[in-house]
Amino acid sequence: MNTLYCAKCGSTDVQIMAWVDANTNEYRGDVNDPLELKDCWCETCKDHAELLTIRLLWNRFAEIPVNNDDEIEEPFLNFEAGTCKFDVWHWFDKRCPHNLYRDLMYIGEK
Ligand SMILES: [Zn+2]
């Protein structure tokens, strides 16, 4: 669940700028640094990117308006406006360790 995704395209081919000890190659960055302070790069977009976990992406998707035909009204990742929301759910489902319902939709109902 800690996998990071590009907030623009949903790719996991992403990199993060970090400090490495020049002598030992040991990673010296503070893992607790807020992600938004780090320089992130998406290899798919070939651009600087915001990285989000699947849960944060799901929260963001929850803000996308959906019409009465279950079509999203704004683009989300590589899904264009007008895409059936279930197609997007499927995208999430494929990336969840268990499944969409268990991992994202019913958080707190353990
Ligand atoms: Zn990207």
pLDDT, tens digit (0-9, with 9 covering 90-100), for 16-60: 888 889 999 988 766 566 666 678 999 999 999 999 999 999 999
What pLDDT, on a 0 to 100 scale, did the predictor assign at position 32?
Answer: 63
Indicate the DSSP class of residue 82. T
Give distance in angstroms: CA of 21 to centre of ligand 1. Answer: 28
Give distance in angstroms: CA of 3 to centre of ligand 1. Answer: 14
Q: Is 26 exposed, middle or buried (0-12, 13-18, 19+ CB in 10 A)?
A: exposed
Q: Percent of the chain, pLDDT > 90?
A: 70
Give distance in angstroms: CA of 6 to centre of ligand 1. Answer: 5
For residues 73-100, average pLDDT: 96
What pLDDT, on a 0 to 100 scale, did the predictor assign at position 31?
Answer: 59
What pLDDT, on a 0 to 100 scale, did the predictor assign at position 108?
Answer: 54
- Residue 94, pLDDT > 70, answer yes
What pLDDT, on a 0 to 100 scale, did the predictor assign at position 56?
Answer: 94
